[in-house]
Structure 1
């Protein structure tokens, strides 16, 4: 480690501390502004060329908005169309009527686990938002003293994060499988064996404990898109801190409700398309026409667009066209702030990458004398934390450990190394991750609340998964 490398590590620590200070101090800067300010200062102090800093900010923000932002906007549209057609309300009623307060976290875990198999974390959360809002509000109607959002959000985060980082066909684990020449079948088996207990412990079990210690109340304007609470204007007014007690049809909503089967089809279509793409990448030839079609339709933006179009063609026939168009436009208003914050988070990520702070952290980790499974986990954890991307953490850590002798040993041990690297990429998901801000803003949390819930859950997933990997390494 050179003195300059240690200096860059110190710059990262100072940047995160400054960001927290700007958001929580008397200035109370909006996270969008705070992220941009810290991005510029970090680039300056880290020694990035003055002319490169604006390029890093623009490309970083543009990259994450192009990837996550469009999908988020389409997800908001789909959620609003399902809500206005009465579909979300009926689906939530179906879930609640068949479960109990004790079973709701488990039901959300199962839903998020299935959705998380083909989807990125952010995309899966966007699709689950209507269910989370709908189920939580219905629980509050029957049990006003409960804290339903923590109960249902925690398992969703745990399941989505676990699948995103640890189990193929997600791009990070698939890249690690290729780089380490691991057996894909063995890796998938090991991944699910590690993922199931990890999700259970960090999801519904931890949710029960955490729900007794914190309360989350989302913005009523965003909740209204999916639940149509009575007197939306009153509930969204300044000072309104109590959630609505039930579901009522909003202004302009039709009393006719759409068939629930069509609602399920609209939700499942993007999932099926993305899953088909992932399966095709495993079993089809690289340049086959069929794979090219699947890669087009399975792209998250195109897949979500197909879901929205299906909703427009089927569910929207229960409302006049003018009302449908108005609903689609209105659906974007509550997510504008989220989009800006996610974009600024992407800018911060790019500054960290372009200023070589991630490289400095990886140099420090390589000097540690660790078991290769633990080393892969540590490298991925550090790089993911530094760059704000689980996929970047996985890809970079894979390249670092690929030349180590232990990386080319027993096929089961190599598969475990893939999972260990993926598990490391999940932990310490904090302010430079787009997913952190998506969760924080979607559920109206303060920075401290988001840290206690989102960062803690993902770090718990990472640590438990590493424990499972080390346990299995003794058995295979």
Structure 2
């Protein structure tokens, strides 16, 4: 029976249902444990020799974590250092000092897009929170407190961060899909950027312009004071006294940046942007050499620096050197910043390892081959299929990473041997699906809701809807590009 394609596909379906049940059951099992239990069940049900199962699970976890885990941890180190050194603070100053009612949502979109390249969604939002509150507070007070500016500034940031989190390496999910589908990472970044820009614009500032007037939101005084160092009433008085409201943001500028106890020097704004972009530029460099001069002497060094682990390592070392020198951080400050960054991504790393177990079982037990036999007769675009699987599993399990991991394992044998550009678009389709329907079983939903004092309905109309729009527009762009590749 275990040789029957129908039976093996049935094992896959039951395994996915078991995974959803374990994560959503009243015990709320951690996704890593749920993936481990599901992998063990699938291995036994698919007929793998019992003596070989432990080795398969360990190989799957170690292999996936080795490819992706290093990128995850290095990305966390870079993101935390950018915040602690004050580099993010310099970018925040750019927004605060040069925003106007017309340009502020668009400026925030661009800043969140840059900040989000090396940072996870939650990390990027935490870093941007003082900036969001500072800009929104000033504009809201200047406009007579219509209670619309918090959403006008927040929504573009959520759109940019979630889009990058789902579509572009070196974020964990897209990196898993790139490795699992054997996609070209530079090509994936390039195509991902083409898909991401319209998705972010339509889901961010455009949607914010539509929905903000329909939801009156002003966070509590405690929340505003926590992130902006003042309250709306105090900021209003400051504006009346100063005429421009600038002093209401003085505390914010002190809060953004390092909390090391040392008197840090300001980081040049241009240097802050350079540190954010170094890893991305290195990964794109390999693709550019492949396209323009594939037989040149640059081929080998480009292949080296274009690898995600090397690119991220170079970015961390570069930022650690120049930011420490520029901001006058001590070696102890840098070490503390790196060390404190790792705890926040430990759970992500475990989910990645658990996903590796599941993928290894799918490959070793021939479930993937059985799925190919069953799906080969379906007339469905693989970009759309990956999007559907990523969307459904992310919604059901509360984890975009789980959705990407599972969809990657299912689609890997189906896209083998296809054109590199098409495989990259499948990666983008899977990632786009994973960020949609981000609702009550997602940690990010509750983080945004509580950070801005929203009701459940307000959070649904904003955070969940924004991420679902990003998901839909990302899919549409990937399908559009697939016509030309």
Residues 162 and 467, structure 2, Cα contact 8 Å, conserved in 1 = no
TM-score, with normalisation over the residues of structure 2? 0.64
Cα deviation code 1:276-309 (max 9, x no counterpart): 12212333446x6522212222222222222222
Pair 297,229 (structure 1): closer, same or farther in 2 beyond 3 Å? farther
Cα distance in structure 1, aligned partners of 2:430 and 2:286: 23
Residues 176 and 395, structure 1, Cα contact 8 Å, conserved in 2 = no
Cα distance in structure 1, aligned partners of 2:40 and 2:211: 36
- For 2:405, the equivalent position in structure 1 comes to 388
Find out whether 1:52 has 2:52 as its counterpart: yes
- For 1:465, the equivalent position in structure 2 comes to 477
1:138 to 116, 131, 135: 131
Pair 332,19 (structure 1): closer, same or farther in 2 beyond 3 Å? same
Q: CA deviation at 1:261?
A: 2.9
TM-score, with normalisation over the residues of structure 1? 0.66
- For 1:349, the equivalent position in structure 2 comes to 359
Pair 61,417 (structure 1): closer, same or farther in 2 beyond 3 Å? closer
Q: CA deviation at 1:155?
A: 2.6
Cα distance in structure 1, aligned partners of 2:352 and 2:209: 29
- For 1:397, the equivalent position in structure 2 comes to 414
Give SS of 1:28's match. coil
Find out whether 1:90 has 2:90 as its counterpart: yes
Give SS of 2:129's match. helix
- Greater Cα offset, 189-198 or 11-20: 189-198
- For 1:298, the equivalent position in structure 2 comes to 306
Query: What are the equivalent positions in structure 2 for 1:35-434 lying under 5 Å apart?
Result: 35-99=35-99, 106-107=106-107, 109-110=109-110, 124-126=117-119, 132-141=125-134, 143=136, 146=150, 151-159=156-164, 161-162=166-167, 197-202=198-203, 204-205=205-206, 246=252, 248=255, 250-285=259-294, 289-317=297-325, 318-368=328-378, 370=379, 374-378=380-384, 380-381=386-387, 388=405, 396-399=413-416, 421=426, 424-429=429-434
Cα distance in structure 1, aligned partners of 2:317 and 2:13: 49
Unaligned runs of 5+ in 2: 138-146, 220-225, 231-250, 394-402, 450-455
Q: CA deviation at 1:362?
A: 3.4
Pair 452,89 (structure 1): closer, same or farther in 2 beyond 3 Å? same
Cα distance in structure 2, aligned partners of 1:94 and 1:422: 34
- For 1:29, the equivalent position in structure 2 comes to 29
Cα distance in structure 2, aligned partners of 1:293 and 1:48: 42
- Greater Cα offset, 73-82 or 453-462: 453-462
Cα distance in structure 1, aligned partners of 2:41 and 2:136: 48
Cα distance in structure 1, aligned partners of 2:105 and 2:420: 30
Q: CA deviation at 1:334?
A: 2.9
Pair 33,469 (structure 1): closer, same or farther in 2 beyond 3 Å? same
Q: CA deviation at 1:269?
A: 1.9
Residues 383 and 425, structure 2, Cα contact 8 Å, conserved in 1 = yes
Pair 272,3 (structure 1): closer, same or farther in 2 beyond 3 Å? closer
- For 2:10, the equivalent position in structure 1 comes to 7
Cα distance in structure 2, aligned partners of 1:319 and 1:423: 38
Cα distance in structure 1, aligned partners of 2:190 and 2:332: 50
Residues 136 and 152, structure 1, Cα contact 8 Å, conserved in 2 = no
Residues 381 and 424, structure 1, Cα contact 8 Å, conserved in 2 = yes
Pair 143,398 (structure 1): closer, same or farther in 2 beyond 3 Å? same
Cα distance in structure 2, aligned partners of 1:207 and 1:157: 15
Q: CA deviation at 1:353?
A: 3.6
Give SS of 1:47's match. coil
Cα distance in structure 2, aligned partners of 1:74 and 1:190: 24
Cα deviation code 1:428-460 (max 9, x no counterpart): 4389xxx99xx95799589x9999579845642
Unaligned runs of 5+ in 1: 116-122, 178-183, 218-223, 231-244, 403-413
Cα distance in structure 1, aligned partners of 2:406 and 2:9: 22
Give SS of 1:126's match. coil
How many residues of Structure 1 are paired with residues of Structure 2 in the alignment? Answer: 406
Cα distance in structure 2, aligned partners of 1:207 and 1:458: 13
Pair 279,201 (structure 1): closer, same or farther in 2 beyond 3 Å? same
Q: CA deviation at 1:207?
A: 6.6
Pair 305,104 (structure 1): closer, same or farther in 2 beyond 3 Å? farther
Pair 333,149 (structure 1): closer, same or farther in 2 beyond 3 Å? farther
Cα distance in structure 2, aligned partners of 1:469 and 1:20: 35
Give SS of 1:256's match. coil
